[in-house]
Amino acid sequence: MPIPSKISELVERFEQHGEDYRAGKYNETQLRRDFLDPFFGLEGLGWDMDNSTKAGENVREVVQEYPLKIEGANKKPDYCFRNGNTEKFFVEAKKPSVNLKDDLRAAFQTRSYGWNKGLPFCVLTDFEEFAVYDCRFKPVNTDSAQTARTFYCKYTEYDAKWSEIEALFGREAVRGGALDKQAAQKVKKGTVSFDADFLHLIEGWREALAQNIARHNKGISQADLNYAVQMTIDRILFLRICEDRDIEPYGQLQNISGKKGVYGELGELFRQADNRYNSGLFHFGKEKARPGEGDSLTLNLKIDDSVLHSIVYKLYPPQPYNFRLVPVEILGQVYEQFLGKVIRLEKSSALIEDKPEVRKAGGVFYTPSYIVDYIVRQTLGPLCEGKTPKEVGELKVLDPACGSGSFLIGAYDFLLNWHLDYYTQNAPEKLAARREGPICRETKDQAEGAAPLWRLTVKEKKRILLNNIYGVDIDRQAVEVTKLSLLLKVLEDGTPERAPTPQSRLLPSQERLLPDLDANIKCGNSLIGHDFYDEKGWDTYSKAEQERINAFDWKDKELGFYSILKNGGFDAIIGNPPYGFHQIHTQDSKDYFKKHYAASEGSFENYFLFYEASLKLLRPAGYHGYIVPVTWLTIPSAVSLRRFVLSNFAVRSIAWLPELVFKDAQVNTLVSIIQHSEAHTVKILISDQNDPSKNSGAKGEIEQSKFIDSDYTIFLFENSVDTELLKRIDSFSVPMSSLARPCSGYNPYEVGKGIAPAGTVHTIETVVEKPYHSPSKLGSEWKTEAVGRDLGRYSLKWPQKRFIKYGPWLSAPRDPSNFLGSRLLVQEITGGNDRRIVATFCDQELYHSRDIIPIKCDNECPSPFYLLGILNSWLMTWRHHRRSPKAKKALFPKVLVSDLKNIPIRAIDFADKSDKARHDEMVKLVERMLDLHKQLATARTAPETTALQRQISATDKQIDKLVYALYELTDDEIALVEGA
């Protein structure tokens, strides 16, 4: 792309007057106005620098973040460029007198901005020089200016380099995902994100504090220790963040950390914070307007100065943390991982270990922000449309399993932006002029003549938070983190208006800066109410058991949400409910669920129960948005849940997420948007992109009534031609379950998901060594074991060095005949690029892992070879991919036991000569395929291998042709199947 004429003019001007510009009197403000605004503006890289389109404050393309000094060291970047409300890159401007090529301080500052904000690339420029930094490398203040620099040029090279600059930072390029694509390329060694680095830091704090408190405070309980450590970290971090946001005096924590009696000094700061903020984070004394006695534990603890000094030291330069820039959402991601561990006391020593439910689930999985944003927009968007702030103030938004608060932060952020847009579009000057107006103008260090920047007042943000946002979680630590995140969001824009100083006492006319969230964010078990104890009584359970059950009564007048439910319920319910069974499902819990939840009829899967429980809390016309596994659409155990949903609510949309959303979690998910409506004939909109907000339109539409008519099983992505063919195939077939007996593969590992490392068994409380595997046969109990990858279509690679010790110690079929006799073996994970069903025949003794599904063949009519040919046919793979949620669009598409039971087998009338001939022909072809694969396994030359592969391919096509004839497909239908 040729350089724009405006940029050429700027280059020429700088060339003529460069000496004047390099003089110290020419400052950054002049540089921005004269050179950088036009460089990045409409005549240069195409950005709307002055918001000429009058876009709302939260979606204006360029935010000029004029300097806000914090002890002269930290400041905001000069420009933030955005796509919608998403920051894409920062630009830091320096006056031309600075030598950017070698100035390590300017480079460190620029990299710190991007690293703290989580942006991969940022720009440092004085127009004379233009440098790009990869901000995924943690910045160190002693790094050279060249460290992590990916691009550099001088103004004299703009003509030659313009196409490179425009391809990354041009408005259209950024909107098209150029920076995202660049960031997605192979990451070099040494990169570390803010969240990973900060998680490592606070995990170290937890361990040090836990050990120190346990050592010096004999008799402290495990629960009190966890509480004390969590609150100490939260309080220090909160005050440090407030320093960088100009709310607390910068460096106050650093100043006291070098004194003797550090914790006593911190205690005084915490008490002052209680006076100033009104947050439950700092609540030490009894007050009339607040329930409870307050925290009488933590300030009386003994903590060594050295531990606290080490913590505080790492929060200040030379460390690169700039908490003005760190989004609350990133802190939430850090805390989500942090909360996955718990402190356990053992003989006055503190040990850090995974929580049982986290260990059972295989880790902590944070919902990506684009999923949170999508669910929030789909639920709150329709509810806010056409309303006034007063009407929106009546909306109640709930996450009943809020964790660290990511969904509530997303909802709160949406409402803040909605209100700011509304106010700035409706006479903002008049609103700001009011004594208690909801917005004010940002004037601090703003350039003369710049367009006004409006922000919500802290008072207004408090009102929105208290009126709209509600959450519940069974984990007390999670509740405290959610509160902390929401409170930080209140203070995110900087210094509140008319705030009391940290040391001052409140005047009668003043109110504390922050709201008390105890009435909004509550700790309890969303699935179990106080009526849990009706059967046996409270005294039956120990204090520890009561704490674990943590019963929560939604309709309790003081401890629940009585008034909201009395008025009809919550307007929006959002979240990512727990998956799996977790440790709370004791027999008593299961008995309770059976009485209270229809979804428990088939399974005690947590997200089934949360679906039902939360939908019951939804008011008429309210919206519900969850991200959950795809399995609830079709598996038999979810039929009661589907019946409950489809019979009582309108499913507005299902967004199928083709890729794995959760890092390191092999679970396929979808987003469902459901409305409390009687409109059961509503058309469900279907999309199939991982970020459904980017879909140009729905993939398809399906009438909800169709699923009610088809036994409440939800199938997606069907067109009318597919549907008719599928119906016809099923119409003259019988399910395989009536011909063969599928049985699930056994599970020798007792894990919640996947296969555990060989030689271990995971239980709820611990990991026990169990040497069940060996590369050699160690005795009569040791049996040859196959795994899924040993299977092929019509072939079996006999394992040579994999043996399992079979016996009652395994969670396996107790009858070894399950691994004997004639049977078909089916691979759980479909294979190859075309994701074919993979099956073979076995009549020898062979034990196998759970990723193989055996089908016992107890009769010869029809022959198991007849079944095998149909199973391995292309027609059955085509059908499976349209009928099974585990097959569609999945990275590891699965064949479930329920899928095999329902495979439609063309019935054979053996009295009919034509039918019997087709059956016998299939048996003959399959026998040939099995023999050809045995020959292929022993082939020794390339020509022999090639000849056998050609025979296999030809025989495979003959089997497919015979299957098409058996199911009476037309030429057009065959083309449809094979074209797929």
Q: What is the structure's pLDDT at 828?
A: 81
What number is the average pLDDT over the span 795-804?
Answer: 84
**Inter-residue contact 673 to 625 (CB < 8 Å):** yes
3-state secondary structure 871-912: HCCHHHHHHHHHHCCCCCCCCCCECCHHHHHCCEEECCCCCC
**Which range (187-196, 437-446, 454-463, 767-776) has the least confidence?**
767-776
Do 889 and 883 touch, CB atoms closer than 8 A? Answer: no
pLDDT of residue 682: 79
The residue with greater pLDDT, 755 or 354, is: 354
Structure tokens at 973: 């239908």
- As a whole number, mean pLDDT of residues 560-589 equals 86
Average pLDDT over residues 569-574: 98
- pLDDT surpasses 70 at 311: yes
Rounded Cα gap, residues 865 and 869, in angstroms = 6
The answer to whether residue 271 scores a pLDDT higher than 50 is yes
Strands 86-93 and 121-125: parallel
Cβ–Cβ < 8 Å for 575, 549: no
Lowest mean pLDDT among 287-301, 748-762, 805-819, 927-941: 748-762
Q: Which residues contact 195 (CB under 8 A, 6 or more apart)?
A: 118, 330, 333, 334, 337
| One-letter identity of residue 946 | T
**pLDDT at position 819:** 81
Residue 528 structure tokens: 């179990």
In one-letter notation, the amino acid at residue 131 is: A
Residue 70: pLDDT above 50?
no
Q: State residue 497's pLDDT score.
A: 53
Res 47 pLDDT > 90: yes
Q: 849-901: per-residue pLDDT in tens?
A: 777 888 887 666 788 899 999 999 999 988 887 765 444 444 346 777 767 77
pLDDT at 357: 64
pLDDT at 334: 84
Q: What's the pLDDT score for residue 461?
A: 94
Which of 65-74, 375-384, 602-611, 657-666 is the most confident on average? 375-384
Residue type at 185 in one-letter notation: Q
> Would you say residue 139 has pLDDT above 60?
yes
Q: Above 70 in pLDDT, residue 74? A: no
Which DSSP string corresponds to 393-426?
TT--EEETT-TTSHHHHHHHHHHHHHHHHHHHTS
Q: Which amino acid is at 815?
A: D
For residues 199-204, give the mean pLDDT. Answer: 92
Q: What is the mean pLDDT of residues 280-295?
A: 74
Mean pLDDT of 195-210: 92
Q: What pLDDT score was predicted for residue 715? A: 67
Structure tokens at 187: 């990451």
Angstrom distance (rounded) from CA 331 to CA 482: 11
For 918-951, write each residue's pLDDT tens digit. Answer: 999 999 999 999 999 999 999 989 999 999 999 9
pLDDT level of residue 75 (50, 70, 90 thresholds): low
Helix ranges restricted to H, 425-493: 428-433, 458-468, 476-490
Helix (H, G, I), strand (E, B) or coil at 514: coil
H-assigned helices in 630-685? 639-648
Between CA 696 and CA 372 the distance in angstroms is 19
970: which strand partners? Answer: none
Q: How far is residue 755's CA from residue 851's CA, in Å, rounded to a whole number?
A: 9
Beta pairing, strands 650-657 & 683-687: parallel
Tell me whether residue 602 is exposed, middle or buried, using C-beta atoms within 10 angstroms of its C-beta: 0 to 12, 13 to 18, 19 or more.
Answer: middle
Phi, psi of 622 (to 5 degrees): -75, 165
Tokens of 604: 């005690």
pLDDT in tens, 752-773: 222 233 333 333 333 334 467 7
Average pLDDT of span 498-512 = 47
Give the best-scoring range by mean pLDDT among 225-234, 512-521, 840-849: 225-234
Check whether 635 has a pLDDT greater than 70.
yes
Q: Residues with Cβ < 8 Å from 580, sequence gap 6 or more? A: 357, 360, 361, 605, 606, 752, 753
Q: For the chain, how long is the longest CA-to-CA vector? A: 103
Which pLDDT does position 900 carry in this prediction? 79
Q: In this predicted structure, what is the pLDDT of residue 652?
A: 92
Contacts of 800 (CB under 8 A, 6+ apart): none
Peptide bond into 139 cis (omega under 30): no
Share of the chain above pLDDT 90, in %: 47
pLDDT > 70? residue 444: no
Residue with tokens 């003549």: 449
Q: What is the mean pLDDT of residues 88-111?
A: 95
- How would residue 831 be classed by pLDDT, with cut points 50, 70 and 90? low
The pLDDT of 302-325, averaged and rounded, is 93
Contacts of residue 668, defined as CB under 8 A and 6 or more positions apart, other chains included, come to 629, 630, 657, 660, 885, 886, 889, 890, 891
Mean pLDDT (the chain, rounded): 84
> What's the pLDDT at 502?
46
Structure tokens at 542: 């120990």
HSE toward the beta carbon, residue 276, CA cutoff 13 A? 18
Prior bond of 757 cis (ω within 30°) = no
Q: Which two tokens stand for residue 944?
A: 């022999």
For residue 353, the SS3 value is strand
**How far apart, in whole angstroms, are the C-alpha atoms of residue 136 and residue 116?**
10
Residue 808, SS3 per DSSP: coil
Residue 907: pLDDT band (50, 70, 90) is confident
**508 contacts 500 by C-beta, under 8 angstroms:** no
**Distances 211 to 197, 231, 305, 420, 670 between C-alpha atoms, Å:** 22, 15, 14, 46, 42
Instruction: Report the C-alpha dihedral over residues 195, 201, 202, 205, rounded to 10 degrees.
Output: 180
For residue 698, what pLDDT band results from cuts at 50, 70 and 90?
Answer: low
Cα 761 from chain centroid (whole Å):
28
Residue 448: band (very low, low, confident or very high) from pLDDT cuts 50, 70, 90: low
Share of the chain above pLDDT 70, in %: 83
Mean pLDDT of all residues in 710-722: 66
Q: Which two tokens stand for residue 279?
A: 């947050």
* DSSP-derived pairing of the beta strands 782-786 and 847-848: parallel
Q: How far is CA 302 from the centre of its chain?
A: 38
Least confident of 51-55, 184-188, 330-334, 939-943: 184-188
Cα four-point dihedral sign 518, 522, 523, 524 = positive
Could you tell me which residues come within 8 angstroms of residue 796 by beta carbon, excluding any fewer than 6 positions away? 786, 790, 825, 840, 842
Out of 50-54, 464-468, 715-719, 976-980, least confident range: 715-719
Find where tokens 């700011």 sit. 420
Taking 70 as the threshold, does the pLDDT of residue 99 lie above it?
yes
Backbone angles phi, psi at 275, to 5 degrees: -65, -30
Residue 3, CA atoms < 13 Å, CB-side half-sphere: 18
Does pLDDT of 718 surpass 70?
Answer: no
pLDDT higher than threshold 90 for residue 206? yes
Q: What is the tens place of the pLDDT at every residue in 250-261?
A: 999 999 998 899
Residue 634: the pLDDT is 72
* Count of other CB atoms within 10 angstroms of residue 715: 19
Average of per-residue pLDDT across 364-390: 91
Tell me the torsion sign for CA atoms 524, 675, 619, 608.
Answer: negative
What average pLDDT does range 731-736 have in this prediction? 79
DSSP string, 113-159: HHHHHT-SEEEEE-SSEEEEEETTBPP-TT--TTTTEEEEEEGGGHH
